[in-house]
């Protein structure tokens, strides 16, 4: 992903005559706080078609006919011969299926439109499957992949169906790439077939798992080397009402036994309706844990704490009914960590993972606030801390980084000696620049901070006009230097949301954009990637004398640079991260104090653009992406130039 560009030694011109050259002095011999190995991670939610229609590689929408309109996503070839039925279904949670009775003419069958079309790569294999029952006669099922223009790209036939439900498989290989293909199934007579869980997956899923995840999307995540994965959200944990909260237990087992529910983002924004957005839970808790393992990321499940979304109904589970929610948490710990001999550990083992997942983090509620939250959190914590002191609990400080809800939550959670408090912030880029020093003054002995959701908003929160601009990315990078400098307090952080489908999003900005066949990382993505891949082990004290730094200059002159420094103990490298949001190339003096030898080469990973408004796109996916440069140096004091509108990570060996 990183492009390499070998440069000759950077020639540093002098600073403009009226401004002193900024100096960054790093105390290499005074290591400070240890940085959590899981510091920079991922926030995942099924928003913007993040799971169904996105990461979960299923290509058929409403495969189970369980949407409230059972034929949503499907178009009968002819109304006669297509019937939704519920008698003798596949199972109780999947109670609808379709009966297709063969006609002489016209043909009987259905077409599935996919998630805004079906994306097919020419020459690649696709796995069709369906649960089928013969309902009279001995019909043949024709399965076709059809292009947007109606051309058959691949076809196969299935026959000899048994009178009981049975799963059938077929492989198709379209010869042509198509972003908007469809799946057409036809029954040729005489006779009829019952069909359910009609499914199509690419053969090449992540790690080749049948019914698995989109490989190109997971590869984007793997490239980041994330420290943790928070799942399954987000407001989706809460639901509009408690009846459609996220219940992890319904997401286990065979896909056809996972009960589908409405996605909370289906009808959240009137300006971005998504009436066809449901949760199939094909990507369920087992798969999330498995993904964490694949990525080397700490699993961080977030559970409902007996509260529906406070932006919606705010429905509360009465305190006397909270035990079942707390039991869900205990059962989840057993599912993740218990031996295969336990009730829930055996469910994990039955799904193919006898070894524990070694979960250490657990979120109690997503974005909750007020006394109702505190009393619910306290009940969870009392039980969980006593039974599982090894699990660090994450609690919520509400939806904003500073308001009455935030202050109330922090005060109460401090009294309760909470482990880690989840702060959320969606704000203008200016907020992030202005708050780079936010954590310098936090109590070193109180709860730790998890900045669990943050993203600079180029226009306003929830505005459909927000864009992933370079300015937003630089604002986040500047803020992240502040988190890194305070790594003793801020233990973890994640940008939110993670994915956006270009044709099906509800929320913007997002870290990674995809469509049915393509994906690209935003400038914000590359900021996250650079921090994560250059995490370091300990913070190094850094003095930034830039003539404009906060506290050093008049208030009307903003700082020119934002920086942090860490040490990679294994490679003996000092890693310096510097943000220059200005339009000026800024020469700077770097002093690695306390070390005798440095270099001889500095590797600089530079993310830069020509203007603050620049963005990446499907057509220009790495317009803003890190480029690696080399600079030769003669010792621990050297000069370098920080390009305009840039974020630079400098790595230099120091002894």
Active-site positions read 367
Residue 463 vs 628, nearer CB to ligand AHR: 463
Candidates 235, 436, 456, 588: give the one binding ligand AHR (CB under 6 A). 235
| DSSP SS3 for 312 | coil
Where would I find the H helices in 146-240? Answer: 215-224
Candidates 28, 108, 337, 366: give the one binding ligand AHR (CB under 6 A). 366
- Shortest distance in whole angstroms from residue 232 CB to ligand AHR: 10
Q: How far apart are CA 555 and CA 549, in angstroms?
A: 10
Residue 403 vs 620, nearer CB to ligand AHR: 403
What binding mask, one character per residue, do residues 381-420 give for ligand AHR by CB under 6 A, x or -? ------------------x---------------------
Q: Work out whether 234 is an interface residue with ligand AHR (CB under 6 A).
A: yes
Residue 235 vs 578, nearer CB to ligand AHR: 235
Structure tokens at 50: 């993040």
| DSSP SS3 for 136 | strand
- Shortest distance in whole angstroms from residue 303 CB to ligand AHR: 14
Strands (E), 323-436: 361-364, 392-396, 420-427
Q: How far apart are CA 589 and CA 344, in angstroms?
A: 58
C-beta neighbour count of 98 within 10 angstroms: 21
Burial class for 571, CB neighbours closer than 10 Å (0-12, 13-18, 19+): exposed
- Shortest distance in whole angstroms from residue 497 CB to ligand AHR: 4
Q: How far apart are CA 299 and CA 647, in angstroms?
A: 29
Closest by Cα among 238, 447, 416 to 325: 238
Residue 41 vs 174, nearer CB to ligand AHR: 41
C-beta neighbour count of 389 within 10 angstroms: 8
- Shortest distance in whole angstroms from residue 617 CB to ligand AHR: 22
- Shortest distance in whole angstroms from residue 537 CB to ligand AHR: 30
Handedness of CA 67, 71, 75, 77 (dihedral sign): positive
- Shortest distance in whole angstroms from residue 178 CB to ligand AHR: 32
Candidates 326, 496, 595, 598: give the one binding ligand AHR (CB under 6 A). 496
Q: Work out whether 192 is an interface residue with ligand AHR (CB under 6 A).
A: no
Burial class for 655, CB neighbours closer than 10 Å (0-12, 13-18, 19+): exposed
Residue 147 vs 508, nearer CB to ligand AHR: 508
Residue 498 vs 652, nearer CB to ligand AHR: 498
- Shortest distance in whole angstroms from residue 426 CB to ligand AHR: 7
Closest by Cα among 211, 284, 254 to 350: 254
Q: Work out whether 239 is an interface residue with ligand AHR (CB under 6 A).
A: no
Contact segment (CB under 6 A) with ligand AHR among 230-238, 242-250, 273-281, 387-395 equals 230-238
Q: Work out whether 476 is an interface residue with ligand AHR (CB under 6 A).
A: no
Strands (E), 17-116: 23-27, 40-43, 74-76, 82-85, 97-101, 108-112
Burial class for 171, CB neighbours closer than 10 Å (0-12, 13-18, 19+): exposed
- Shortest distance in whole angstroms from residue 556 CB to ligand AHR: 34
Which position has the token pair 């070193």? 444
- Shortest distance in whole angstroms from residue 256 CB to ligand AHR: 28
Residue 179 vs 408, nearer CB to ligand AHR: 408
Contact segment (CB under 6 A) with ligand AHR among 228-236, 249-257, 314-322, 329-337 equals 228-236
Candidates 453, 476, 484, 515: give the one binding ligand AHR (CB under 6 A). 453
How many residues bind ligand AHR, per CB under 6 A? 12
| DSSP SS3 for 608 | strand
Per the omega criterion (within 30 degrees of 0), is the bond before 124 cis?
A: no
Contact segment (CB under 6 A) with ligand AHR among 9-17, 191-199, 227-235, 266-274 equals 227-235
Q: How far apart are CA 286 and CA 249, in angstroms?
A: 10
**Are the C-beta atoms of 399 and 345 separated by less than 8 Å?**
no
Q: For 48-80, give one letter per residue: b (16+ CB within 10 A) or e.
A: bbbbbbbbbbbbbbbbbbbbeebeebbebbeee
Please, which of residues 305-344 interact with ligand AHR by CB under 6 A? none
Q: Work out whether 497 is an interface residue with ligand AHR (CB under 6 A).
A: yes
Q: Work out whether 367 is an interface residue with ligand AHR (CB under 6 A).
A: yes
Q: How far apart are CA 197 and CA 94, in angstroms?
A: 9
Residue 81 vs 301, nearer CB to ligand AHR: 301
Q: Work out whether 507 is an interface residue with ligand AHR (CB under 6 A).
A: yes
Residue 81 vs 233, nearer CB to ligand AHR: 233
- Shortest distance in whole angstroms from residue 131 CB to ligand AHR: 33
Q: How far apart are CA 444 and CA 331, in angstroms?
A: 33
Structure tokens at 45: 């939610």
Q: Work out whether 233 is an interface residue with ligand AHR (CB under 6 A).
A: yes
| DSSP SS3 for 279 | strand
Closest by Cα among 46, 198, 59 to 117: 59
Name the residue number minimizing CB distance to ligand AHR: 234
Residue 168 vs 269, nearer CB to ligand AHR: 269
Contact segment (CB under 6 A) with ligand AHR among 188-196, 212-220, 229-237, 356-364 equals 229-237
Q: Work out whether 498 is an interface residue with ligand AHR (CB under 6 A).
A: no
Residue 399 vs 536, nearer CB to ligand AHR: 399
Q: Phi and psi for 433 in degrees, rounded to 5?
A: -65, -45
Q: Phi and psi for 167 in degrees, rounded to 5?
A: -90, 135
- Shortest distance in whole angstroms from residue 236 CB to ligand AHR: 6
- Shortest distance in whole angstroms from residue 369 CB to ligand AHR: 11
Tell how far CA 130 is from the center of its chain. Answer: 30
Q: How far apart are CA 193 and CA 208, in angstroms?
A: 30
Which position has the token pair 């922090």? 410
Please tell me the total number of residues recorded for the chain in this structure. 655
Candidates 45, 276, 423, 639: give the one binding ligand AHR (CB under 6 A). 45
Residue 144 vs 367, nearer CB to ligand AHR: 367
Q: Work out whether 493 is an interface residue with ligand AHR (CB under 6 A).
A: no
Going by their DSSP bridges, the two strands 108-112 and 74-76 should be labelled as antiparallel
Q: How far apart are CA 249 and CA 40, in angstroms?
A: 28
Q: What residue ranges bind ligand AHR (CB under 6 A)?
A: 45, 47, 233-235, 366-367, 399, 453, 496-497, 507
């Amino acid at each position: 992903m990183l492009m390499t560009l070998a440069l000759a030694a950077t020639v540093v011109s002098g600073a403009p005559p009226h401004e002193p050259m900024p100096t960054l002095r790093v105390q290499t011999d005074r290591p400070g706080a240890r940085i959590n190995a899981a510091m920079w991670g991922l926030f995942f939610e099924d928003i913007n078609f993040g799971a169904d229609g996105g990461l979960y590689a299923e290509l058929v929408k409403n495969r189970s006919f369980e949407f409230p309109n059972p034929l949503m996503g499907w178009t009968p070839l002819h109304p006669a011969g297509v019937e939704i039925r519920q008698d003798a279904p596949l199972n109780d949670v999947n109670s609808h299926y379709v009966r297709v009775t063969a006609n002489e003419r016209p043909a009987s069958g259905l077409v599935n439109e996919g998630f805004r079309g079906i994306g097919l790569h020419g020459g690649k294999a696709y796995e069709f499957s369906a649960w089928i029952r013969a309902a009279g006669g001995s019909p043949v099922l024709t399965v076709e992949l059809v292009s947007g223009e109606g051309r058959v790209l691949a076809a196969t036939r299935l026959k000899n169906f048994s009178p009981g439900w049975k799963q059938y498989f077929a492989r198709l290989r379209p010869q042509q790439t198509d972003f908007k293909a469809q799946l057409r199934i036809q029954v040729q007579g005489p006779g009829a077939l019952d069909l359910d869980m009609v499914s199509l997956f690419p053969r090449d899923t992540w790690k080749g798992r049948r019914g698995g995840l989109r490989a190109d999307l997971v590869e984007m995540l793997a490239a980041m080397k994330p420290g943790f994965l928070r799942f399954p959200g987000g407001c989706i944990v809460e639901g509009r009402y408690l009846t459609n909260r996220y219940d992890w237990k319904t997401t286990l087992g065979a896909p056809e036994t996972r009960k589908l529910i409405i996605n909370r983002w289906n009808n959240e924004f009137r300006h971005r309706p998504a009436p066809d957005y449901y949760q199939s839970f094909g990507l369920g808790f087992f798969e999330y844990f498995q993904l964490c393992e694949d990525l080397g990321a700490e699993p961080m499940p977030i559970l409902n704490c007996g509260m529906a979304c406070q932006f919606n109904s705010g429905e509360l589970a009465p305190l006397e009914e909270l035990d079942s929610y707390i039991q869900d948490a205990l059962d989840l710990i057993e599912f993740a960590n218990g031996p295969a001999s336990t009730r829930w550990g055996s469910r994990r083992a039955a799904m193919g993972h006898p070894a524990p997942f070694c979960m250490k983090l657990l979120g109690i509620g997503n974005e909750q606030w007020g006394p109702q939250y505190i009393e619910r959190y306290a009940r969870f914590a009392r039980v969980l801390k006593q039974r599982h002191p090894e699990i660090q609990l994450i609690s919520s400080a509400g939806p904003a980084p500073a308001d009455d809800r935030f202050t109330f939550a922090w005060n109460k959670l401090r009294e309760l000696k909470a482990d880690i408090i989840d702060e959320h912030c969606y704000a203008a880029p200016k907020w992030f620049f202005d708050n780079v020093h936010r954590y310098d003054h936090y109590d070193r002995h109180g709860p730790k901070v998890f900045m669990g959701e943050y993203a600079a908003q180029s226009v306003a929160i929830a505005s459909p006009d927000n864009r992933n601009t370079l300015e937003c990315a630089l604002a986040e990078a500047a803020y992240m230097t502040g988190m890194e400098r305070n790594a003793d307090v801020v233990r973890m952080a994640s940008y939110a949301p993670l994915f956006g489908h270009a044709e099906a999003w509800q929320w913007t900005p997002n870290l990674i954009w995809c469509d049915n066949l393509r994906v690209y990382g935003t400038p914000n993505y590359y900021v996250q990637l650079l921090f994560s891949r250059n995490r370091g082990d300990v913070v190094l004290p850094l003095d930034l004398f830039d003539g404009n730094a906060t506290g050093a200059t008049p208030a009307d002159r903003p700082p020119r640079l934002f920086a942090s420094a860490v040490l990679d103990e294994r490679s003996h490298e000092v890693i310096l991260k510097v943000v220059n949001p200005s339009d000026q190339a800024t020469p700077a003096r770097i002093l690695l104090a306390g070390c005798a030898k440095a270099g001889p080469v500095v590797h600089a990973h530079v993310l830069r653009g020509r203007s603050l408004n620049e963005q990446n796109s499907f057509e220009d996916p790495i317009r803003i992406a890190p480029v690696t440069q080399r600079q030769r140096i003669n010792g621990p004091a050297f000069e370098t130039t920080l390009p305009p509108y840039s974020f630079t990570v400098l790595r230099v060996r120091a002894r």
